[in-house]
Amino acid sequence: MNCYKCGTKMEYINTDLPFKIQTNSIVIIKKLPVWQCVNCNEYLIEDGVMKKVDDLLANIDSKVEVEILSYAA
Ligand SMILES: [Zn+2]
């Protein structure tokens, strides 16, 4: 897969990414599998992975300011 911004080959890696779910609420998902560009650091999340992220975020108590989850859990 190539980067949609700069065209460089992307690598499939596990990384930690923050998702903002409410004005004051952020969820950090650890070990999330994403495609990342080695040149410009742009990343791409596959549809199947994004769906699981949506499921994880849907179960978060939005009163918590910061929540840390593991994708693989
Ligand atoms: Zn790139």
Number of structural domains the chain divides into: 1
DSSP 8-state symbol, 61: -
Give residue 73's pLDDT: 60
CA–CA gap between residue 59 and residue 13 (Å, rounded):
25
Q: What spacing in Å lies between the alpha carbon of 7 and ligand 1's midpoint?
A: 6
The H or E element that residue 66 is part of is: strand 66-70
CA–CA gap between residue 71 and residue 38 (Å, rounded):
22
User: Does a structural domain hold residue 14?
Assistant: yes
pTM for the structure as a whole: 0.83
Q: What spacing in Å lies between the alpha carbon of 59 and ligand 1's midpoint?
A: 32
Residue 32, burial from CB neighbour count under 10 angstroms (0-12, 13-18, 19+): buried
Domain residue limits at 49: 10-70
CA–CA gap between residue 15 and residue 30 (Å, rounded):
6
- CATH code, domain with 18: 3.10.20
User: Does a structural domain hold residue 51?
Assistant: yes
Query: pLDDT of the chain along its 73 residues, tens only?
Result: 999 999 999 999 999 999 998 888 999 999 999 999 999 999 999 999 999 999 999 988 878 899 999 998 6
User: Does a structural domain hold residue 2?
Assistant: no
Q: What spacing in Å lies between the alpha carbon of 34 and ligand 1's midpoint?
A: 13
